[in-house]
Amino acid sequence: MEILKSWKSIILACAVFAMEMSIGRADQAAPVYTMVKINVADLRRSLDFYTRVLGMREVWRIGSDDFTELVLDVDKNNGNGFNFVLVYNKGRTISISPTGIDTLVVIKPTMVAIKATVERVSKEGFKIQTPPTVADMPQLPLYPGGADYAVVTDPDGYTVELIHFRK
């Protein structure tokens, strides 16, 4: 019974620590998220999709032919802002399925840009889940004008939402 109480104390202490870290403290900076990494089955195919089709830019890569992390610039900040990382592991024996990731969201500047991207996605033979759509979003007070969006699927089956928030 004492061991059980000890484990409960450890779990509670970890939960409190995680909560404090997630909300930050007055004397500490709030957490900053700098990248998202996804596993890919074919690095060349995924790089082509995210750069040529979606318009991201390769910033740098590390690794070898067997294991590579390839960093893509999302916000045109030369890798110093938010980055998107493709992870390729030639020896991977587990499924590459996008388990645990619901949607990757890519902000686009206009509905015209969304339509052009969807056209490229379609031309390249990738799946379009939702064609360009105009949506009112009264539940989001920061974007009273609503949003324009489309949803596509990348080469590994990840859902990618292209969105433009209207002001």
Q: What is the CA radius of gyration of the chain?
A: 20
C-alpha distances (whole Å) from 63 to each of 25, 26, 155 are 37, 39, 22
pTM, to two decimals: 0.68
Q: How far apart are the first and last CA of the chain?
A: 58
Q: What is the DSSP string of 118-161?
A: HHHHHHTT--EEEEEEEE--TT-TT-TT-EEEEEEE-TTS-EEE
Tokens of 104: 């990757």
CB 152 within 8 A of CB 162: yes
pLDDT of residue 46: 93
| Cα separation, 115 vs 152, whole angstroms | 12
| Cα separation, 9 vs 123, whole angstroms | 57
pLDDT of residue 74: 73
pLDDT of residue 147: 87
Set out the domains of the chain in order of their start, with CATH numbers.
31-96 (3.10.180.10), 97-167 (3.10.180.10)
pLDDT of residue 97: 62
Tokens of 51: 């750069």
Please give the chain's pLDDT, 167 residues, in tens: 343 333 334 443 433 334 334 444 444 455 555 678 888 888 999 999 999 999 888 988 888 888 898 989 876 665 566 778 898 988 775 566 666 677 788 888 889 999 999 999 999 999 999 999 998 877 767 677 888 999 999 998 888 999 888 87
| Cα separation, 131 vs 113, whole angstroms | 13
- Please list, in sequence order, all residues whose beta carbon lies within 8 angstroms of the beta carbon of residue 149, skipping any fewer than 6 positions away: 114, 130, 132, 133, 135, 161, 162, 163, 164
